[in-house]
Every structure is written in structure tokens, then in C-alpha cells.
Chains A and B, each alone.
Chain A
Amino acid sequence: MMKLQNKSITRSHLKVGVSTLIILLLTFRVSYSQQQPLNMDVDFKSVKIDEFVQELEKKSGYHFYYNQSHFDSLRITINLKGSTIREILNEAFKNSKYQYAIDSESNIFLTLNTKIDERLPLSLFGNFSDVSKVASKSNSVSITTLDNERVIPKQIDTKAEEKVYEVGLRTPSILPGKATISGYLREGKSGEPVVGASIFIMKPRLGVVTNENGYYSLQLPKGQQTLMVRVAGQREISRQIILYSDGTFNIDLKSQVISLKEVVVTRKSDNLAATQMGVNKINIQSIKNVPTVFGEADILKVVLTLPGVKSVGEASGGFNVRGGATDQNLILFNDATIYNPSHFFGFFSAFNPDLVKDVELYKSSIPAKYGGRLSSVLNISGREGNKKKFTGTAGIGLLTSRLNIEGPLNKDKTSFLLGGRTTYSDLIFGLMPKKSVYRNSKASFYDVNLLINHKFNEKNSVSLMGYVSDDQSDLGTDTSYSYANQNASIKWQHVFNKKLNGNFVIGYDGYKYNTESNSEYDTLGAYNLGFDINQVNFKSGLTYYLNPKHTVDFGLNSIYYKLHPGSYLPKGRSSLVTPDVLEGEQALENALYISDNYEMSPSLSFTFGVRYSHFSNLGPKTINSYAPGLPKEENNILDSTAYRNGQVSKTYQGPEIRFSARYVVNKSLSIKAGYNSLRQYIHLLSNTTAISPTDTWKLSDPNIRPQQGNQISLGLYKNFDSNALETSVEVYFKRIKNYLDYKSGAQLIMNHTIETDVINTQGKAYGAEFFIKKTAGKLNGWASYTYSRTFLKMDDPNAGELINGGEYYPANFDKPHDFTVIGNYKLSHRLSFSSNITYSTGRPITVPIGLFTYSGSLRALYGDRNSYRVPDYFRTDLSLNIDGNHKVNQVAHNSWTVGVYNLTGRKNPYSTFFTSQGGVVKGYKLSIFGTAIPFVNYNLRF
């Protein structure tokens, strides 16, 4: 209940409907209220309604409700002394169509044309959520709330908003000058930090964004302030403070009872105000609303719907950002680097959606704290465990099930979050007909996450993270494939003082695969092939709030790599396989960075960052040197040098520039520009179009140079309808140097001289991305159109043979036109429809240009690389989300998702191949999902 007598200056909007079917939108204000009638002196000269109302509210204590748009043209000029409120209003609206009504609770309603009956029930405005249809007795006016959630902040915590908090040491009077307010923004229910929320005051416009721990620090003028908090995908909330001196102020957001999830994509909370560009942030609610093939929310598949992100097809594990290769994305999950982000070769992403809070994709302005990959950073933030009580979620799908539990280990201090996901596909294979070759197939995967957070005090907290994912499969062949990610880290968050805080992370990231032959016919050649990559990281990141205009981030990142590039070992006693183990690789990568976010003026801001990266390849390792000017071939080896343990064989280093600027033209329009350069010292060796489970990673060494990229981009951002509709256009141009491609027939596995099979390739990419997003209303979602091109060129004179004669050719994922619509329509609070529509140009392929006869069969003669395209891609998915009832006190909340993937059943070609069969060449196109695929998923929260 919101009592209007309470002292409060909450601003809200309320929609009312009038039975005459005229819908009046009223803005409502509440201020100091005094019951006794007042005689006031007023003097207005051609003022707008806002000023008029403000003045009267201050003087009288009445609260005004009105729809601002109806009063746009009104200018009020009156000069009265000792008048009552009615006299003033009569005079002000004399000879106009404006009407007013005053109720017994000192509320004043201003309307156009229609007068509201003053005898309306009081309760009407006492409690918004209870308001439904109320008919008045005498007049023909009734008021109905149509859509109160649009109006009232969802997470409104009225008591907190009304209360005035005192921050700092109280002084008898407010001293002039500024003071720093800092603290944490957290979810009230679970105690989780809220990341990336804007905390600001309106006048003067000063603000800051909470960091990954939910921490903020802001220097403000002392005195009474209204601190506004804007969280991605939610409306603003406010806190009244009186700032006496430097002090701590933690804000708890009150969680709402289950509400219908909205599709909300937010560009770093405020697409206009942030200096960065090319950033997409998606919260898990949005991800969960996008229909996916098996009905389970899939982070990577949703990332693919963002402008500028592409993949070669539905079954590919990787994604390509603005023309970058799949190995040029830094995928971070709670600060841990994930080398293989997918299960079952790309059909599922390796992240349990119930444990993820949000996902940020940086594709243009990559903050200086990130580095090591050229194209993008995909930062997946996990949730924290609930610090107040034990809860959990469970989901049952056609192929996977998941269970997560969380709760306090020590109330308000320590929490844990444990989640797991697994398949039961082995079981399904077993149920298949006896004759099926797949009956004996095996395919399974699981992943487990554990997160423990402990808060020592306001200044120190520690979190422990563990993540394991594992895939096993034999695909009905006599070879079994397995791969696994393993990550663990410990993170310490420390607040040094009001202005300086930092994060320190030590972690281990690992990825390995293993392939074994199980053939009973070929025991002589039975083998076991393995690869692994391990890295130990140290990351420190500090933020210094120098003054309201400057926020400085700086830190040091170090990674020690240890790779086992391959081992090929006999399996079983009868195997004759000669054990072959490639020499390990070691390297140390260090990077120092500093960046300054400078708010030059409210309209102009810059972020200038430099990251200096330094990479050393270390022994023990024997490295070949090749005759200069000749192709790197085994017969051109001049010498080979054996480096001792820890000895540096080669160092690469250089600065990386991260610059972006923003100019706010007006309240709804801003322009941004950015320049980024990046370096990458680790490369994925893959000559398949999609990431395959036998792809390995390789470190830069004296023969393999680091990849380098730079990008220049420009963006225009315009919001309409008070930010309910966000639009943007971004254009970019990018160059890539020393991208790795391979010679014809290159052997990438177990190659002792891999440098003889790789060719340095140059790339260029450019494009324009158009994005429109509707954040509010029953229908919401986003649409994007991207025009982009990516070309590669292999013009290394020492490469020997050149692909397409050394000319530019389109990359595998060059799909010039790409159009995506994600929409969500709420039928009611329990029922919503989601849909996903995607169109793109078909990807380039290499096709035969001729035929020849060899070994008894006609065979295909291939032409230039990627000179042809598969037919265009088009897909529509639809899902219906049904929530169980929303009663707060029930033990468990459940929901269903049912839908159809690829509704039109279009056979979108994934790849083509030409194979010699029965003496002739036959061309085929392979589509992965050739029909409409229905799915159902059941979710439970307890």
C-alpha cells in the first residue's frame, strides 16, 4: 500500500482508462502532503505544466496526476496572492479545455475535456495492483489499470524508495563540496551482485556502472540526492539519500515474484550513454525465451542471433564475429577460459542455462582488461548462490536433464551453487530397433558447476569456482571420441578504499581430447590419440575512481601455457603402433593494461586504453629454422635448436590500442566511434569448416607468428518512445594479419613440423549492422539486419602453392545478408509466444568444375575455393511458454515450454559434397534439420 500522506517524491506513471474509451495517461507525483487548506502566493509567467505543478506541490503538499502530453502546449501565466488551490487552478485553466478534480487525499487530477468525479473511491490510488475496474456512481467515469507493470517499476520496493538514507558522518548542516558514495548493488532475495547496472543522479548528470562484483563508487555533491539505479531489462528504481561525507551505501533490489519473462537485450544497460560500442548484453530470461532445437535454453545459439555473429551452420561448435575465425573468440565463464564451448560437436552449448546470469558479447570496443583473442570476448557471468535460503531448479527435456541447488552455508556470509546436467541418450540408443546400427552407439555428456562465495566483510569476499564438462561418443563407429573442459579458480575481491577496488583471480583452465580405436578387426593398429592444453592464469584488475570525470582501470594478466600437442600410443597388447609423442609446448603471456573512462562533458566521453602484451615461447623444445626466402619445407630446414627448460625461444610483444568515444547529440541520439587493435598468440589448427573434436591448439613460436587484427567502427544510436524502442546502426572495417590456413592435404594431427603445413593468410572484413529493439510492452524483441563481407587472401610468397592464385576469396562464413527477428508476445502473465526467424545468404562452398576418370571411377575436379554458394538459409522457430501459477508460497513453481524448431521444415543445406558412387559423381547437399522438430521441456523451481 502506498500511503499518499507519506513523505515521498516517487515518480511513476499510471495508465487509466475512462469508460468513454478515452484512455488517459496520467503522470503522478507525490510530495510533502499537508492536510490543512492553504492560502498561497503564486506568480507564474508563461510556464509549462511541469514547473507549475512542481511549484504548487512544493507549496501546497497536493499531488498532481496528469498526462504530460496533453499539456504540452499549455503555458500558464497567473499572479495571485493568498489564494486557495481551487482558485489558482480555476484561474490557470480558465477558458481552456483542461479540467481538474481534487479528492480527499489531496490528490489533484488534471485532465483534458473529461472531468473526473471527485467522489471516486479513495482506494483507487492507494494500491495500484489491486485496482481493477471501478465504476463511478454518478458520472460516466471509471478508471481501469491497463498495464500496471509498464507503469510501476517491477521491483519497486516502496518502503525503501520512500525512506531517506543518511550516508556518511552526520553533520548539523550540509557542508559544501563533494563526497564519495560507494557500495554494492545486490539482489535482495539471493544476495547476488547486480553487474553492469547504472547508478546515477539526474542533476548534475553523474553516474557510474557497477562492476562485476556489483560494486560502485560515485562522487556526488553533498546533500540530498535521488540516486537512480537502472538495471538491464528493468525499470529504474531510486533511493533518497542525504550525503554528509564519504560513506558506504549498499542497495538491495527486491526481487519480484515470478513475472513473465521479457525478451530484453540491452546494450550495456544504456545503449546511448555507454562509451563502448559493439557490445551486446543478454540476460538469461531473454535467452530462455528464444526457441531452440531441443527446447533447452542455449546461450551460444542466442548469441548467433546478434548482429555481426555468424556460424557455418547448425552443427558447428564455433561462431564467427565480424569476420573473425572461430578461434578468435575469448569465451569466459566466470573468468575461466573455455576452449570448447559445446557439447556433442556443437549441438548444445556447454553452459547450463540455469546457472548463468547474463552474457555479454564485445565485438568492437573490447575493454583493455581482455586480450589474447582477435575478434570478440564472450563473457558469460554465472549466478551466485542464494545467501538467504535453499532453493533449486530442475529441468527435464527430451535429451537432457538438469538439477541445480543453491543456498547459504552460513547465512548472509557464504553461499553455494551446484548444478549439473546430463544426457540419457545412451538409454535412447538402447531402445532403438535391434537391427539399427545405432543401437550400440554411445553418446553422452555432462557438465557440473560449483560456485562458493564467501563474504568476510564489506571489503573482502572470496569466490571459488569449479567447472567440468565431458563428452563421450562413438557414433556407431569403432572409434570412441571424448573431450573435456576443466576449470577451477579462486577470486578475491577487495575494496581498498572508497576510490580503489580490485579483483584478483588465480585459476586453472584445461581442455583435452582423446580418441581411441576399438576395432576388433584391426588390433594391430589399435591406437590412443590424445591432446591437452593447460593454462594457469593470474589476473588482477583494479578500478580507481579518480573523480567523477575519470574512472581508471588497470591491471596485470598472466597466463602460463602448457600444451601436449599430441600423443599417439598403442592400445592393447597386440598393437604394433609405434608410440609417438610430440614435444610439449610452453609459453608465458603477460599483459599490462590501463584504461581511462573520461567524461569530458555530459555529452562527450572517451575511453582510452592501452594493453601491452608480451609473449615468450619457452623451452624445453627443439625448434627448426628454415632457409630465409624459401618455402618452409622439410628439405629447407637449415638447423634445429634445442632450447633448455625455461629458455626463451622467441618473444613477441606489442601494444594494443583500445579507443572509443561517444557524443550524445540529444536525449535520444548519440554517436560513437572506436578503434581497436588486438594480438593473439594461440591458434586453433583446423582445416574443417566446423570445429571438430580432433582440432588442436598451437602456440606461437619462432615459426608461427601471432595473429594481429585491428578494427575501426562507427555507430549511430537513436531511441524512440522514451527508450522503449532502441535503434542503432554500426559500421566497421577490420583487417586480420597472420591468420593460419593450411596447405593442400596438410596433416594437422601428430605433425612434427606443423609450420611446414601452415600458410599465413591475410583477411579483411567490413559490414553494416542495423539493430532495432523493443524493450517494453506485450510484444517485445529485436530485429537485426547485417550486411557483411569477409575475405581472405593467401599471398605468402614462400607458401609454394597459393589458394585461388593469391587473390582474395570469401571465407567459409561469408554470408553477406543476414536478417534475424526474435519476438516475444505475452498473451497473459502465464502464457507467451516466442519466435525466431532467420534468413541469410548461403555460405560459400567449393564445387567441382570438371570430371575425370581415375581408379575406375569418375571423380570430381574442384575449382577455386569458395566460388559457389549453398542455397539461402531460412528458418522459423516458434515456442509457447506456459508458466504455472504465481502463488508466492507454494513449494515449487513450474513451467512448460513447447514448440517447434524449423516450423516450415525447410531443408537448409549445411554442406555439400560430391562423391564417386558406382562409377559416377553424385552431388549431395546435407541438411541437419530437414523437418520441423517439435520439442517440450519442463522446468521446476523450488
Chain B
Amino acid sequence: MLAVIAEPEGAAKNLFIGLDRYYNMCGVKYTWASNTSSILVCCICMWGVIAGCRDAFEPMINAPATGYLVIEGFINSSVGRTTIQLSRTGQFAQNGPGPEARASVEIIGEKSNSYALKEKQPGIYESDLLNLTDQSCRLKIKTFDGKVYQSDLISRVETPEIDSVSWRRTSDGLRISVNTHDDSNRSKYYKWTFEETWEVRSVFTSLYKFVTKIDPVTKKPIIEAVERQPGEEKLLFFCWKSNVFDGLMLGSTAKLSRSVITQPVTFIPAESEQLGVLYSIEVEQIALDEKGYEFFNKLKTDTELSGSIFNRQPTELKGNFQCITNPAESVIGYVGFSSKKRKRIFISEVEAQWNYAVLCEIPFTILPVSDTLKKYSDRYTPLYMEPETQTTPQLLFVAGKRCVDCTSRNASNVRPVFWPN
């Protein structure tokens, strides 16, 4: 998602984004976070005259194995656990770097009090429940191969509470923003993430299901429609989907006279499934110090926003770690000393005046005999049985799976714990 950043560089960045969009105006609306693939999207753009193109590009790089240590996480400044993840950079061509296991990680407070983190899973290190009172601390890491890495002294930054998560309906969708402020004016840099969850519902209720049995006479498999257990139909009717934001969303109030910020978080396009029933978003906010902000901003510029005609050179990514045993070695990562603040809101279809519909075929009847059922069992789900009458035989109503079984829509039927009603 595009973030409007309240600082002058933001002006330039917006421009970069803007132009990129010009060159990629592909007749279809091109959205930044689209997952549409590496398929070449080529298009008539800018005034319908310039044709700009974006092609997949895979350079044949003969790169050296890097294997730099990557450190991610926050030292929790409030009561709680601190989680630090260690991994290594990997080859570009290969898929994914690995976790760094069997390291020893400790937090060293300003008074030289030290708290060790335990490896919970490979590469994930967690502290006990702590209540750090130090104003500053360091993180020290000793990897299994004996190298020692240490952070600069990290000062405590207090994260203000989120004032509100607000939304606004526009003609083309719904825009969600997070609002925060700090009366002390000490917090100037923020990083946000969010997780959104929404309910999806089937259109028809399925009281029957197909079951495969062995015919006791012919000893061949046959299909029958049988009634479901009470309550089982709900598992097909109510589902939830969720999405975790995996980008970098940053904001700064450094240029403002007061630390007040409204950050657009996400935009839900009109007629999207997300607001079909009920939608929820939990925004997580963390305050950064200036160096941390610079680190994440650089990371964002280099890895998320670099496509435009005014290309900026990718730059060296320097965090707040050094390798003590080999100062020339590159280390990636910035660890802050702060806390996370969260806020969740719900938005219902009615509140949002949403208009979403799943298009479904009208249910129809079939004869509940095995051969017929076999033909339909792949793509259809039974709804209910119309009993025999004087003029008609017993008939089974069926409908398309997508309209009956919500799990077929990439959703989970496990109700999230926070879900109301």
C-alpha cells in the first residue's frame, strides 16, 4: 500500500510512485500490492500514447555466497517477552535463506544486568517475562561459529497508545487510517503493521452430504446423500479469512510542530469480499528512534519502491549492529527498545453500506441415485432432500460448491477467538 509520508523526501517518493503508475497503466487498474504475477503487463499509457512496459527481469548473477547475519526484533520495553529472530542472507537464485540456530542471545542493560534469550524454534529466540527498567541496553549475539555481534547502545523509546483506527467510505471503496499523537512530543517516528480478518458466508445451507459406501450387494462403491450432524452445516456456512501486512509502513512527525499523525493504513476497493459481512483490523504501532526510522525507510526505498524513471541507487543498509570479531563483516538489522501498542476495530457490511454478492447458480434437483450423484459429487454439494410426493420421486437439491462450502473459497472455518457473536 502506498504510504504518504509527512516529510520532504515523501514528495519525491510519491513522484516516483506516480510515474511508475504512468508507465504501467495497463487498461486495467494496476494496484501496487497486486499479486498479479510476473506475467508481462504491457500497456498503452500516459495520454494513451506512450507505451510503457514492465517485464519480469531475472539477471543471471554470479553472486558470491553472502551469508550475512540478519537480526530482527524489538527489545520489549514494557512488561513482556522479547523475541529476536536470527537468519542468514541467502543466494538470490535459491529460495530463501535459513534461520540461524544455536546462537546465544542476551540483552545487556545499562547496569550490566544481562538477560538471556532461549531458542524456542530454530532461529527464534525468546526471553522470559521481563520488566526492563533500564533507560538503554544492548543486544549481544554469539553465533554457533563463535562470532560475536553487538548492537550499539539502544535508548528506550515509549510508544504512545493508538488514539483510534478510523475509516471513511468513499465512492470507490473504504479507506482505513490510524491516528496517534504524543503530547510529550518525544515520539516522532512510527512503524505500523496490521492484520485484517473478515468473515465470509456461504449462500446456501447444506443439510446433506455425499458419502461413499460399499454396496453390500455388488461390493462396489456407491455414493449416497446423507443428512449431516446438527451444527455441522455451520462449518460450511461461516468462514474467516485473514491477511497479515508484510510491507513496511512508516510515518514521521519530525517536520510537524506537534506529534500528531494520521496514517492511511489500507484501502478496501468497493465490492470487495472483505466487507461482505464483517471486517476487522488490528493495527500494531511501534515507535522508533531516528536511526531506526532511517534504517527502515532505506529498506523500504530499496526493496519496495524502486521502480520508476527516477531510479535511486540502492544503498548500503546499515543497522545498529557490528561484528566484534570481524568489523569488516556486514550485518543487517536494527533492533529497537520499545513496545508495541495495538488497536482493533470492526466494520460491518451495514455500517460500510457495502454491496457484495457471490454469484450463484440457482439450486436444482437431481435424482438421488448413485450414478447421478457420482456425476455431481465433484463440483456440487447437496443442500436438502425434497421428499417424495404423489407425482414426483424423492429429489435432492444441489448447488455449486463455492456457494455452499466456504472453505472452498480459501477460507478457514475456525472462528477467531476475538470474533464477536
Binding site for B on A (CB under 8 A): 293-294, 313, 315-316, 345-347, 398-399, 425, 428-429, 432, 435-438, 443, 474-479, 481, 515, 517, 519, 521-522, 524-525, 527, 529, 566, 568, 576-578, 580, 687-690, 692-694, 743-745, 747, 749-750, 801, 846-863, 865, 868, 907, 909-919, 921-931, 933
Question: Does B22 lie at the interface of the complex (its beta carbon under 8 Å from any beta carbon of A)?
Answer: yes
Of the candidates A425, A852, A923, which one forms a contact with B56 in the assembled complex, judged by CB atoms under 8 Å apart?
Answer: A923
From known contacts A481-B15, A688-B310, infer whether A854 and B54 are also in contact, taking CB-CB under 8 Å.
no
Contact pattern, B 8-25, Cβ under 8 Å of A = 1, otherwise 0: 110110110111111101
From known contacts A851-B97, A923-B58, infer whether A689 and B311 are also in contact, taking CB-CB under 8 Å.
yes
Of the candidates A443, A749, A910, A917, which one forms a contact with B309 in the assembled complex, judged by CB atoms under 8 Å apart?
Answer: A910
Cα A361 to Cα B70 in complex, Å, equals 51
From known contacts A476-B22, A690-B310, infer whether A854 and B59 are also in contact, taking CB-CB under 8 Å.
no
From known contacts A521-B4, A916-B247, infer whether A921 and B303 are also in contact, taking CB-CB under 8 Å.
yes
From known contacts A578-B257, A688-B310, A690-B311, infer whether A861 and B33 are also in contact, taking CB-CB under 8 Å.
no
| A–B pairs, 6, beta carbons within 8 Å | A522-B4, A907-B53, A915-B305, A921-B92, A928-B50, A931-B42
Of the candidates B59, B90, B298, B304, which one forms a contact with A744 in the assembled complex, judged by CB atoms under 8 Å apart?
Answer: B298
A747 B6 Cβ-Cβ under 8 A: no
**List of A residues within 8 angstroms of B264 by Cβ:** 521-522
A928 B23 Cβ-Cβ under 8 A: yes
A525 B70 Cβ-Cβ under 8 A: no
B57 A924 Cβ-Cβ under 8 A: yes
Cα A577 to Cα B252 in complex, Å, equals 11
Cα A688 to Cα B55 in complex, Å, equals 21
Of the candidates B17, B52, B296, B299, which one forms a contact with A930 in the assembled complex, judged by CB atoms under 8 Å apart?
Answer: B52
Most chain A CB neighbours (cut-off 10 Å) among B8, B47, B50, B256? B47
Of the candidates A527, A743, A910, A914, which one forms a contact with B255 in the assembled complex, judged by CB atoms under 8 Å apart?
Answer: A527
Cα A714 to Cα B55 in complex, Å, equals 43
**List of A residues within 8 angstroms of B244 by Cβ:** 856
A690 B309 Cβ-Cβ under 8 A: yes
Of the candidates A525, A687, A916, which one forms a contact with B313 in the assembled complex, judged by CB atoms under 8 Å apart?
Answer: A687
Of the candidates B8, B90, B91, which one forms a contact with A568 in the assembled complex, judged by CB atoms under 8 Å apart?
Answer: B8
Question: Does B209 lie at the interface of the complex (its beta carbon under 8 Å from any beta carbon of A)?
Answer: no
Most chain A CB neighbours (cut-off 10 Å) among B12, B175, B248, B257? B12
Q: What is the count of residue pairs linking A and B with beta-carbon distances less than 8 angstroms? A: 297
B8 A750 Cβ-Cβ under 8 A: yes
Question: Does B193 lie at the interface of the complex (its beta carbon under 8 Å from any beta carbon of A)?
Answer: yes
Most chain B CB neighbours (cut-off 10 Å) among A577, A854, A863? A854
Question: Does B146 lie at the interface of the complex (its beta carbon under 8 Å from any beta carbon of A)?
Answer: no
**List of A residues within 8 angstroms of B72 by Cβ:** 853-855
Question: Does B307 lie at the interface of the complex (its beta carbon under 8 Å from any beta carbon of A)?
Answer: yes
Cα A529 to Cα B29 in complex, Å, equals 30
B304 A916 Cβ-Cβ under 8 A: yes
**List of B residues within 8 angstroms of A689 by Cβ:** 310-313
Which residue of chain B lies nearest to A910 when distances are taken between CB atoms in the complex?
A: B309
Question: Does B126 lie at the interface of the complex (its beta carbon under 8 Å from any beta carbon of A)?
Answer: no
Question: Does B403 lie at the interface of the complex (its beta carbon under 8 Å from any beta carbon of A)?
Answer: no
B307 A576 Cβ-Cβ under 8 A: no
B11 A749 Cβ-Cβ under 8 A: yes
Within 8 A of A (CB), among B135-156: none
Most chain B CB neighbours (cut-off 10 Å) among A576, A687, A690, A910? A576
Question: Does B66 lie at the interface of the complex (its beta carbon under 8 Å from any beta carbon of A)?
Answer: yes
The stretch among B105-113, B196-204, B314-322, B342-350 that forms the contact with chain A is B314-322
Question: Does B246 lie at the interface of the complex (its beta carbon under 8 Å from any beta carbon of A)?
Answer: yes
B177 CB, nearest partner CB in chain A, Å? 7
Within 8 A of A (CB), among B150-169: 168
A850 B63 Cβ-Cβ under 8 A: yes
**List of A residues within 8 angstroms of B25 by Cβ:** 436-438
A749 B14 Cβ-Cβ under 8 A: no
A792 CB, nearest partner CB in chain B, Å? 12
B246 A855 Cβ-Cβ under 8 A: yes
Most chain A CB neighbours (cut-off 10 Å) among B50, B61, B317, B318? B50
Within 8 A of A (CB), among B87-112: 87-92, 96-97
Question: Does B261 lie at the interface of the complex (its beta carbon under 8 Å from any beta carbon of A)?
Answer: yes
**List of A residues within 8 angstroms of B302 by Cβ:** 860, 862
A687 B312 Cβ-Cβ under 8 A: yes
B333 CB, nearest partner CB in chain A, Å? 8
Q: A916-B303, A924-B56 are in contact. List 14 more A-B contacts (CB 8 A).
A: A313-B309, A316-B309, A399-B49, A436-B25, A566-B8, A577-B256, A692-B310, A848-B92, A850-B68, A851-B91, A913-B311, A915-B305, A922-B56, A931-B51
Cα A909 to Cα B246 in complex, Å, equals 28
B67 CB, nearest partner CB in chain A, Å? 8
From known contacts A399-B47, A476-B21, infer whether A694 and B307 are also in contact, taking CB-CB under 8 Å.
no
Question: Does B385 lie at the interface of the complex (its beta carbon under 8 Å from any beta carbon of A)?
Answer: no
A852 B50 Cβ-Cβ under 8 A: no
**List of B residues within 8 angstroms of A930 by Cβ:** 42, 51-53
B55 A861 Cβ-Cβ under 8 A: no
**List of A residues within 8 angstroms of B310 by Cβ:** 345, 688-690, 692
Question: Does B115 lie at the interface of the complex (its beta carbon under 8 Å from any beta carbon of A)?
Answer: no
From known contacts A477-B18, A861-B66, A922-B56, infer whether A519 and B29 are also in contact, taking CB-CB under 8 Å.
no
Question: Does B393 lie at the interface of the complex (its beta carbon under 8 Å from any beta carbon of A)?
Answer: no
B183 CB, nearest partner CB in chain A, Å? 13
Question: Does B323 lie at the interface of the complex (its beta carbon under 8 Å from any beta carbon of A)?
Answer: no
**List of A residues within 8 angstroms of B298 by Cβ:** 744-745
Cα A693 to Cα B97 in complex, Å, equals 39
Most chain A CB neighbours (cut-off 10 Å) among B18, B87, B298? B18
Of the candidates A294, A847, A853, which one forms a contact with B49 in the assembled complex, judged by CB atoms under 8 Å apart?
Answer: A294
A476 B12 Cβ-Cβ under 8 A: no
Question: Does B366 lie at the interface of the complex (its beta carbon under 8 Å from any beta carbon of A)?
Answer: no
A475 B307 Cβ-Cβ under 8 A: no
Which residue of chain B lies nearest to A346 when distances are taken between CB atoms in the complex?
A: B309
Cα A429 to Cα B22 in complex, Å, equals 12
Cα A577 to Cα B307 in complex, Å, equals 29
From known contacts A856-B193, A914-B306, A929-B51, infer whether A688 and B311 are also in contact, taking CB-CB under 8 Å.
yes
B90 A850 Cβ-Cβ under 8 A: yes
A238 CB, nearest partner CB in chain B, Å? 49
From known contacts A524-B261, A857-B246, infer whether A915 and B304 are also in contact, taking CB-CB under 8 Å.
yes
**List of B residues within 8 angstroms of A521 by Cβ:** 4, 168, 175, 177, 262, 264
Question: Does B64 lie at the interface of the complex (its beta carbon under 8 Å from any beta carbon of A)?
Answer: yes
**List of A residues within 8 angstroms of B14 by Cβ:** 477-479
B8 A846 Cβ-Cβ under 8 A: no
Cα A916 to Cα B299 in complex, Å, equals 11
B315 A475 Cβ-Cβ under 8 A: no
B90 A576 Cβ-Cβ under 8 A: no
Contact pattern, B 241-284, Cβ under 8 Å of A = 1, otherwise 0: 00011111000010111101110100000000000000000000
Question: Does B332 lie at the interface of the complex (its beta carbon under 8 Å from any beta carbon of A)?
Answer: yes
Cα A921 to Cα B308 in complex, Å, equals 17
A578 CB, nearest partner CB in chain B, Å? 4
Which residue of chain A lies nearest to B191 when distances are taken between CB atoms in the complex?
A: A855
Which residue of chain A lies nearest to B60 when distances are taken between CB atoms in the complex?
A: A868
A694 B57 Cβ-Cβ under 8 A: no
A849 B15 Cβ-Cβ under 8 A: no
A933 B92 Cβ-Cβ under 8 A: no
Cα A529 to Cα B7 in complex, Å, equals 10
Cα A693 to Cα B54 in complex, Å, equals 23
Cα A817 to Cα B294 in complex, Å, equals 39
Cα A929 to Cα B317 in complex, Å, equals 33
Question: Does B35 lie at the interface of the complex (its beta carbon under 8 Å from any beta carbon of A)?
Answer: yes
A836 CB, nearest partner CB in chain B, Å? 18
Of the candidates A475, A848, A861, which one forms a contact with B22 in the assembled complex, judged by CB atoms under 8 Å apart?
Answer: A475
From known contacts A690-B310, A928-B50, infer whether A345 and B19 are also in contact, taking CB-CB under 8 Å.
yes
From known contacts A519-B4, A750-B8, infer whether A525 and B303 are also in contact, taking CB-CB under 8 Å.
no
A907 B55 Cβ-Cβ under 8 A: yes
A196 CB, nearest partner CB in chain B, Å? 36
A917 B33 Cβ-Cβ under 8 A: yes
A853 B256 Cβ-Cβ under 8 A: no
Cα A578 to Cα B258 in complex, Å, equals 8
